[in-house]
């Protein structure tokens, strides 16, 4: 079967794209079609400008004074508020700090502390592994706490939610399949039995509109190096609903979370508000890079991002199935755009080789074992013609059997 859409139609979609100008805010290497912004977002000159300023003016000239004069000390909360606008969080509930893994540790402890008579953590068996590893780590420090998993202890997460559950740790979008959860509905279901919920937003922050306050979410965590383009290892974030602030305690009780950090007291007293999720000194240069990346979002309409994301991913599925359907690819994940994040995965028995062949030809996606080839579509810088060209390369690799070349079978890291 041939695709019903042609190149001229695809070019017309680019011409009519309201986000088209955003692409110029990013650096995309010549000859590369970048479909891995769901793993590491592209670099932006605005990020380099912030880094340059932070290093050469603030650090080099202001030295230690910059903690105050350049607002370094307040950056976790200031950036948290800036990021909060993208995830539906009123000011004062989001803080940028540490890594997603560490923040999972903090919020799970905080949630378990608010529900002291409950002993169950619920998560997804096919969650991104660090979520499970951190939940295991938390459980190991709290005797009697058990972890129950969707796909292992029951087919669906809903079936695991009962009065014994203290907290549910759940991904808004599954990292592998792109399946999007209904945040409001699952949060409501958790609250009906008195459980709390933590949303992992790694694959949604910056990818689609998120409404944490409106959904009545309790906590959220996520990273900033994917769709938010903060750079490799950029600091992560925590959201905690205001109603929990006075009750939360987290065990990484470092001085940045202290009520009076500069009183240098002998014993810990948790600070007020979202600051109590902080631990120690934060990576200022990485924070400043993130500021440059977040500033870009001041000019972005999230509804337009979602619309384009669905159109890009729909187009990709349509073209792949029309042009590559004969070569053993199977869609893994939702066909309905409204149930999908900003990524598309296909299963292929030789997915590893296929992805390596694609990357060699300049189409960068990634591979997730055992057989998923995954493509992320960042609406700020991926265009419809990129989708067209990526599918042309994929078709060529599959039709010619180029992926079977011996060098692609050698296991090396695939992004
Ligand atoms: C859902 C999810 N959670 C967590 C992480 C990573 O956590 P960290 O930034 O601590 O390595 C990822 C990374 O891809 C992820 O996809």
Dump the DSSP string for 221-288.
EE-SSSTT---TT---EEEE-GGGTTT---S---GGGBSSGGG--SS--BPSGGGGG--S---HHHHH
In this structure, what DSSP letter does residue 340 have? B
Distant-in-sequence, close-in-space partners of 402: CB < 8 Å, separation ≥ 6: 357, 396
3-class state of residue 312 by DSSP:
helix
CA distance 357 to 402: 7
CA distance 76 to 53: 18
Q: Tokens representing 172?
A: 């808004």
Protein residues with CB under 6 Å of any ligand 1 atom: 99-101, 128, 130-131, 171, 175, 200, 202, 223, 236
Per-residue pLDDT of the chain (415 residues; tens, 9 = 90+): 455 799 999 999 999 999 999 999 999 999 999 999 999 999 999 999 999 999 999 999 999 999 999 999 999 999 999 999 999 999 999 999 999 999 999 999 999 999 999 999 999 999 999 999 999 999 999 999 999 999 999 999 999 999 999 999 999 999 999 999 999 999 999 999 999 999 999 999 999 999 999 999 999 999 999 999 999 999 999 999 999 999 999 999 999 999 999 999 999 999 999 999 999 999 999 999 999 999 999 989 999 999 999 999 999 999 999 999 899 999 999 999 999 999 999 999 999 999 999 999 999 999 999 999 999 999 999 999 999 999 999 999 999 999 999 989 877 766 6
Beta bridge partners of 222: 237
Q: Please check whether residue 296 is in contact with residue 22, taking contact to mean a CB–CB distance below 8 angstroms.
A: yes
Domains and CATH numbers, the chain: 7-43+301-408 (3.90.1150.10), 48-295 (3.40.640.10)
Q: Is 255 annotated as a binding residue?
A: yes
Q: Can the peptide bond before residue 370 be classed as cis, meaning omega within 30 degrees of 0?
A: yes
Q: Please check whether residue 397 is in contact with residue 403, taking contact to mean a CB–CB distance below 8 angstroms.
A: yes
Identify the active-site residue in 17, 36, 200, 366.
200
Q: How far is the CA of 225 from the centre of ligand 1 (A)?
A: 10
CA distance 172 to 95: 19
Nearest CA to ligand 1 atom 9: 100
């Amino acid at each position: 079967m041939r695709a019903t859409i042609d190149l001229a139609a695809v070019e017309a979609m680019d011409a009519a794209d309201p986000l088209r100008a955003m692409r110029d805010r990013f650096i995309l290497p010549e000859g590369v079609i970048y479909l891995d912004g769901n793993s590491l977002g592209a670099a932006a000159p605005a990020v380099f400008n912030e880094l340059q300023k932070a290093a050469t003016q603030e650090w080099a000239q202001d030295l230690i004074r910059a903690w105050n004069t350049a607002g370094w000390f307040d950056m976790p909360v200031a950036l948290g508020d800036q990021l909060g606008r993208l995830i539906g969080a009123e000011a004062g509930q989001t803080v940028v700090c540490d890594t997603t893994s560490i923040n999972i540790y903090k919020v799970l402890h905080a949630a378990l502390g608010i529900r002291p008579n409950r002993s169950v953590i619920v998560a997804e068996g096919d969650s991104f592994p660090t979520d499970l590893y951190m939940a295991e780590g938390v459980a190991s420090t709290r005797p009697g706490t058990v972890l129950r998993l969707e796909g292992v202890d029951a087919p669906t997460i809903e079936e695991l939610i009962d009065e014994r559950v203290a907290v549910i740790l759940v991904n808004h979008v599954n990292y592998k399949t792109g399946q999007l959860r209904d945040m409001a509905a699952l949060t409501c279901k958790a609250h009906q039995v008195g459980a709390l919920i933590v949303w992992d937003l790694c694959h949604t922050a910056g990818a689609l509109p998120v409404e944490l306050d409106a959904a009545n979410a309790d906590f959220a965590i996520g990273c900033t190096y994917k769709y938010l383009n903060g750079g490799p290892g950029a600091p992560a974030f925590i959201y905690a609903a205001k109603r929990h602030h006075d009750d939360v305690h987290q065990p990484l009780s470092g001085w940045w979370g202290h009520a009076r950090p500069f009183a240098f007291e002998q014993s810990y007293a948790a600070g007020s508000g979202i600051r109590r999720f902080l631990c120690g000194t934060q990576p200022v240069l990485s924070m400043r890079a993130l500021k440059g990346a977040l500033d870009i979002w001041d000019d972005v309409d999230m509804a337009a991002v979602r619309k384009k994301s669905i159109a890009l991913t729909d187009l990709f599925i349509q073209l792949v199935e029309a042009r590559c359907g004969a070569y053993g690819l199977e869609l893994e994940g939702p066909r309905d755009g409204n149930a999908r994040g900003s990524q598309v995965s296909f299963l292929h028995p030789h997915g590893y080789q296929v992805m390596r062949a694609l990357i060699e030809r300049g189409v960068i996606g990634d591979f997730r074992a055992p057989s998923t080839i995954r493509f992320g579509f960042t609406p700020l810088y991926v265009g419809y013609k990129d989708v067209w060209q990526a599918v042309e390369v994929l078709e060529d690799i599959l039709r010619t059997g180029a992926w079977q070349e011996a060098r692609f079978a050698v296991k090396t890291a695939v992004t």
